[in-house]
Amino acid sequence: MSAAEVGVGPTGPATAPTGAPTETKDRAMYEISQLTKTYTQGKRTVHALQAVDLTIGTGELVSIQGPTGGGKSTLLQMLGGLDRPTSGSITLDGTDLARVSDSRLTRVRAETIGFVFQGFNLIPTLTAQENVETALVPGKVPAAARAARATAALEQVGLGDRGAHLPVELSGGQQQRVAIARALVKAPTVLLADEPTGNLDEQTRDEIVDLLEGLWKEQGLTVVMVTHDSTVARRTQRRLRIAGGRLTEI
Amino acid sequence: MFFTYLRRELSNRRKQSVIIAIGMAVAIALVMIVNAVAAGVSDAQDDVLDSVYGVGTDITVTQAGEPGGRGPGRFDVGSDDGEASDDGGSRSFDQDQLAVARGTASFDASALDTVAGIEHVAGTTGTLVLSNTSFSGEVPDFGQMQGGQGGGPGGGDAQSAPTGGADGAGGSAFSIDAFTVTGVDPAADAVGPLTAVEVSDGRGLETADNTSGDDGAAGTVAVLDSTYAESADLAVGDTVTVGGTDLDVVGVVSSTSGEGVSTGSDVYVPLALAQSLADLDGQVSNVYVQADSSEHVDAISDAISAALPDVSVSTQADLASSVTGSLSTASDLVSTLGLWLSVIVLAAAFGIAILFTVSGVTRRTRELGTLKAIGWPNGRVVGQVAGESLVQGLIGGVAGLALGLVGIGVINALGITLSGATGTGGFTFGGPGGFGGAGGAGADAGAGPGAAGGGPGGGGGGGPFGGAADAAQSAVDVALHAPVSVTVIVVAIGLAVLGGLLAGLVGGRRAARLRPAEALRSVA
């Protein structure tokens, strides 16, 4: 049963966990209304999202769980402006991601949203430092400032001494830290993480979650994290579940 | 970031980059070599044409001869001709014929004035191209035979075996010597055959030679082509017999096209002397025309045709197509096989570059999708892909440039010599024939005297010298030099850029279509 059907749930106020930034959470970062995404897979029509209503406050730490194919990654793509809905609206800080132009959407992604992926998605031919710098390319940050900011971001995630290493020379946990540094170096307001600990062992997983939680607390980011791992989900401020394209609050 | 990323990508895909570069390099080198050889062949054709028609000649005017008309081809040996041998069994004879080359005709020199009066004509000169054929041999003395033996050539009566002749048994022997004689106006140094020669020994023809003879007639002087002088063992101070008249050799000239290249004629004499010796006073066989601008060549050509309807008018383009021999074969090879080979290899190289680029984009779906996801604009992603392809193309272009230069250097170092002749039978242009070689070739075969009338060129309305032997003698040998021009280098680099851009555009288009959501879905 989705929130839309009962008219309550995900749109309601979130409960802030201990230490969470509370100053801005009452202001909505995301407002999603009747969001639907349908696509065809061969001859089959897939309803990835069905009339999803959701409000995420500024500074919230939200996790989305659900079975594979349930629609969680699709929802994350909508939140990140990587795909457009079939119908409904999705507003990020006043900008309707469903209706803005492609170039505006690209600019939103470049300036406002940081992404962390399960597979790290680092450029294999670039060093950790250069990978972090790629996030500043769209902003046309001068080379010197770009390097300085990337170095600072790497230090922030504990990899100040690994800037010259290629991804292949780093462990999985270190690669994910580089990915987090890349997401944060442009000072986004939203951090979207798709299974950020999916490829990591338990110890490293905890380290990464600690890091994300720390950054969330320090920077007042709005963090939305897709995860299969209930341990990770339990550490978030607010837990959502999506299955069959329908969203519910846990 | 652009160059760092580009450099890292290319070095990471070194194998692929090397394959693309090799393909591009081979294609570009081939195009360069074909281009350079084509230019070299074209230059060689120009050299041949310059040797024959002179430097700066834009148009030549000739007139085709009447079939079976005047020309070297028939020698009549009477029973009383020549000198009897001491034993009275044979007679030796030596005949010279000087005539306008077979297949061409002389025409009134007033045509020169007509042409000179045409608008945009900058210069003209007229020449009389002649063929001098010497026929010498020994035949049985039929006058002696008729008294008691009768019978035909080489024959005898029933009681006694034939006697006399070259072999003492009624046989005959003949030899043919043919060379070209061109009557030129010594004052014409701006257009015509003399513009393509330089004096290598003695002196050239001078205006005074037109009147230095007895009673103001032309002086009996001649200038020889250096290759002919060498083959005929003649030098300054010797005499050369033209039309039965001994001429003093006052100079030797060689082609300005290069060492060993023969000029357009074997012997040069003053025009007035040539007209006198050939009994063609006031006649010329060729008019050389220089236009004031290449733009006016066609208009002048049309005007000449209108003013002189009986003549044949040929432009340089027409003349170039008339070049025969190995030069022509090389030209055909370059223009057909070389061109198509270049196109095919180039297409293959471009295809490989495009294929690898597209394959690279497909392989980098996740990577490029990630860049789009973090906010790289489409143009930046496309530019990155296109830039990589462009640099790959340029690397291939530079390698191809080096390979092409080496190839061209090797071709030049080989010293390939091409042989070219204009027309089908020799240098004189406009002759309809060129198939009269058999008579000349068979002249030494020892045929009976009745066959003597066949003579050189007896096979029909052949070329100006009447035989294949003459044509071969007249061919101009030119060393092939494939030049490395700015054009060749620009073409090489241009093709490299084009190949890189094409691959980049195709790959970039694919990258542009890539949706970040799909890229992430593929790894979700």
Q: What is the pLDDT of residues A28-40, one digit of tens each?
A: 899 999 999 998 8
- Give me the pLDDT at residue B235, please: 92
Q: What is the ipTM of this complex?
A: 0.88
Is residue A125 within 8 angstroms of chain B, CB to CB?
A: yes
User: B24: closest CA among B505, B334, B391, B362?
Assistant: B391
If pLDDT is split at 50, 70 and 90, which confidence band does B221 have?
very high
Q: What's the maximum distance between 2 C-alpha atoms anywhere in chain B?
A: 122
Contact B373 A82 (CB under 8 A): yes
User: By three-state DSSP, how is residue B505 classified?
Assistant: helix
Distance from the B393 Cα atom to the nearest Cα atom in chain A, whole angstroms = 21
Distance from the A27 Cα atom to the nearest Cα atom in chain B, whole angstroms = 25
Contact B377 A135 (CB under 8 A): no
- Give me the pLDDT at residue B153, please: 47
Residue B454 has pLDDT above 70, yes or no: no
Nearest CA in chain A to B4: A126
Query: Which of the residues B366, B374, B521 would you substitute to probe the A interface, choosing the one with the greatest number of A C-beta atoms within 10 Å?
Result: B374
Shared domain for B127 and B197, answered yes or no, is: yes
Q: What mean pLDDT is reported for chain B?
A: 76
Contact A194 B9 (CB under 8 A): no
Shared domain for B267 and B216, answered yes or no, is: yes
Specify if B229 maps to a domain.
yes
- Give me the pLDDT at residue B24, please: 86
B329 vs B26, more confident: B26
Give the whole-angstrom CA distance, residue B245 versus residue B522.
98
User: By three-state DSSP, how is residue A118 classified?
Assistant: coil
If pLDDT is split at 50, 70 and 90, which confidence band does B440 have?
very low
SS3 content of chain A, % helix, strand, coil (to 5): 35, 25, 40
Contact B367 A123 (CB under 8 A): yes
pLDDT digit string, tens, across residues B297-331 = 889 999 998 998 888 888 877 766 666 666 666 67
CA–chain centroid gap for B486, Å, is 25
CA distances from A230 to A13, A15, A72 (A): 21, 17, 14
Residue B392 has pLDDT above 60, yes or no: yes
Neighbours of B203 (CB within 10 A): 14
Average pLDDT rounded to a whole number, residues A151-174: 92
Is residue A218 within 8 angstroms of chain B, CB to CB?
A: no
Give the whole-angstrom CA distance, residue B53 versus residue B195.
9
Percentage of chain A exceeding pLDDT 70:
90
- Give me the pLDDT at residue A106, please: 93
What is the torsional sign of CA A39, A41, A46, A49?
Answer: negative
Residues recorded for chain B? 524
Contact A111 B5 (CB under 8 A): no
What b/e sequence results for B389-427 when a residue is b if at least 16 CB atoms lie within 10 Å of its CB, and e otherwise?
bbbbbbbbbbbbbebbbebbeebbeeebebbbbbbbbbb
A16 vs B117, more confident: B117
Specify if B4 maps to a domain.
yes
User: By three-state DSSP, how is residue A77 classified?
Assistant: helix
Task: Flag the least confident range among A13-22, A188-197, B369-378.
Answer: A13-22
Residues in chain A closer than 8 A to B370 (CB atoms) = 115, 117, 121, 123
Is residue A149 within 8 angstroms of chain B, CB to CB?
A: no
Specify if B80 maps to a domain.
no
Average pLDDT rounded to a whole number, residues B357-362: 86
CA–chain centroid gap for B333, Å, is 15
If pLDDT is split at 50, 70 and 90, which confidence band does A190 have?
very high
CA triplet B176, B181, B185: central angle to 5 degrees?
175
Shared domain for B38 and B118, answered yes or no, is: no
Give the whole-angstrom CA distance, residue B482 versus residue B39.
6
Distance from the B42 Cα atom to the nearest Cα atom in chain A, whole angstroms = 50
**DSSP result, B373-397:** HTT--HHHHHHHHHHHHHHHHHHHH
Give the whole-angstrom CA distance, residue B104 versus residue B31.
42
User: Phi-psi region for residue A64, left (φ > 0), alpha (ψ -120 to 50) or beta?
Assistant: beta
Alpha helix stretches (DSSP H) within A139-201: 143-156, 172-184
pLDDT digit string, tens, across residues A95-146 = 999 999 999 999 999 999 999 988 889 999 999 999 999 999 998 899 999 9
Residues in chain A closer than 8 A to B12 (CB atoms) = 124-125
Give the whole-angstrom CA distance, residue A73 versus residue B521.
8
Contact A126 B380 (CB under 8 A): no
Domain that holds residue B340: 1-48+329-431+475-522
Q: What mean pLDDT is reported for chain A?
A: 86
- Give me the pLDDT at residue B68, please: 53
- C-beta of residue A114 within 8 angstroms of C-beta of residue A82: no
Shared domain for B256 and B333, answered yes or no, is: no
Neighbours of B497 (CB within 10 A): 15
Residue B426 has pLDDT above 70, yes or no: no
- Give me the pLDDT at residue B473, please: 39
B156 vs A175, more confident: A175
From the list A102, A103, A135, the residue facing B374 with the nearest CB is A135
Nearest CA in chain B to A137: B376
Is residue B340 within 8 angstroms of chain A, CB to CB?
A: no
Specify if B168 maps to a domain.
no
- Give me the pLDDT at residue B48, please: 72
Residue B522 has pLDDT above 80, yes or no: no
If pLDDT is split at 50, 70 and 90, which confidence band does B443 have?
very low
Shared domain for B24 and B64, answered yes or no, is: no
Residue B271 has pLDDT above 60, yes or no: yes
Is residue A83 within 8 angstroms of chain B, CB to CB?
A: yes
Shared domain for B376 and B514, answered yes or no, is: yes
Average pLDDT rounded to a whole number, residues A225-247: 91
Shared domain for B62 and B197, answered yes or no, is: yes
- Give me the pLDDT at residue A10, please: 41
Residue A234 has pLDDT above 60, yes or no: yes
Specify if B318 maps to a domain.
no
Distance from the B349 Cα atom to the nearest Cα atom in chain A, whole angstroms = 26
Contacts A–B by Cβ distance under 8 A: 90
What's the number of domains chain B is made of? Answer: 2
Specify if B507 maps to a domain.
yes
Q: Are strands B169-171 and B164-165 parallel, antiparallel or unpaired?
A: parallel
Query: Which of the residues B5, B8, B513, B520 would you substitute to probe the A interface, choosing the one with the greatest number of A C-beta atoms within 10 Å?
Result: B520
Shared domain for B381 and B508, answered yes or no, is: yes
User: B53: closest CA among B201, B197, B203, B230?
Assistant: B197
B505 vs B189, more confident: B505
CA distances from B497 to B24, B75, B329, B500, B508 (A): 10, 68, 33, 5, 15
Structure tokens at A241: 């579940």
Specify if B128 maps to a domain.
yes
The backbone torsions φ and ψ at residue B205, rounded to the nearest 5 degrees and listed phi first, read -75, 145
Nearest CA in chain A to B516: A82
- Give me the pLDDT at residue B519, please: 67
CA distances from A83 to A78, A223, B334, B425 (A): 5, 19, 56, 78
If pLDDT is split at 50, 70 and 90, which confidence band does B156 have?
very low
pLDDT digit string, tens, across residues B35-90 = 888 888 877 777 776 666 666 678 888 888 766 555 555 666 666 666 777 666 77
B459 vs A207, more confident: A207
If pLDDT is split at 50, 70 and 90, which confidence band does B339 have?
confident
Residues in chain A closer than 8 A to B524 (CB atoms) = 73, 118, 194-195
Average pLDDT rounded to a whole number, residues B368-387: 91
Shared domain for B185 and B286, answered yes or no, is: yes
H or E segment and range at residue B34: helix B14-53
- Give me the pLDDT at residue A142, please: 92
- Give me the pLDDT at residue B128, please: 92
The backbone torsions φ and ψ at residue B105, rounded to the nearest 5 degrees and listed phi first, read -140, 155
If pLDDT is split at 50, 70 and 90, which confidence band does B134 have?
confident
Contacts for B295 with CB less than 8 Å, ≥ 6 apart: none
- Give me the pLDDT at residue B476, please: 67
What is the torsional sign of CA B462, B465, B471, B477?
Answer: negative
User: Phi-psi region for residue B51, left (φ > 0), alpha (ψ -120 to 50) or beta?
Assistant: alpha
Residues in chain B closer than 8 A to A67 (CB atoms) = none
Contact B520 A82 (CB under 8 A): yes
Is residue A194 within 8 angstroms of chain B, CB to CB?
A: yes
Contact A133 B1 (CB under 8 A): yes
- Give me the pLDDT at residue A26, please: 66
- Give me the pLDDT at residue A49, please: 93
Give the whole-angstrom CA distance, residue A138 versus residue A107.
8
pLDDT digit string, tens, across residues B114-129 = 998 999 888 889 999 9
From the list A117, A126, A183, the residue facing B520 with the nearest CB is A117
Tell me which range, A127-141, B169-183, B476-490, is most confidently predicted by mean pLDDT: A127-141
If pLDDT is split at 50, 70 and 90, which confidence band does B102 have?
confident
Residue B469 has pLDDT above 60, yes or no: no
Residues in chain A closer than 8 A to B517 (CB atoms) = 77, 82-83
User: B438: closest CA among B421, B418, B455, B426?
Assistant: B455
Residue B18 has pLDDT above 80, yes or no: yes
Contact A109 B375 (CB under 8 A): yes
If pLDDT is split at 50, 70 and 90, which confidence band does A78 have?
very high
Task: Flag the least confident range among B1-5, B112-116, B207-211, B438-442.
Answer: B438-442
User: By three-state DSSP, how is residue A101 classified?
Assistant: coil
Contact B374 A124 (CB under 8 A): no
- Give me the pLDDT at residue B69, please: 52
- Give me the pLDDT at residue A13, please: 36
Nearest CA in chain B to A103: B377
Is residue B14 within 8 angstroms of chain A, CB to CB?
A: no
Shared domain for B62 and B21, answered yes or no, is: no
Residue B282 has pLDDT above 70, yes or no: yes
Give the whole-angstrom CA distance, residue A99 versus residue A84.
8
H or E segment and range at residue A15: none
Shared domain for B508 and B402, answered yes or no, is: yes
Shared domain for B369 and B493, answered yes or no, is: yes
Residues in chain A closer than 8 A to B521 (CB atoms) = 73, 77
- Give me the pLDDT at residue A174, please: 92
Structure tokens at B41: 């062949």
- Give me the pLDDT at residue B428, please: 33
Give the whole-angstrom CA distance, residue B382 versus residue B209.
77
Specify if B243 maps to a domain.
yes
Residues in chain B closer than 8 A to A137 (CB atoms) = 1, 376, 380
Residue A173 has pLDDT above 80, yes or no: yes
If pLDDT is split at 50, 70 and 90, which confidence band does A223 have?
very high
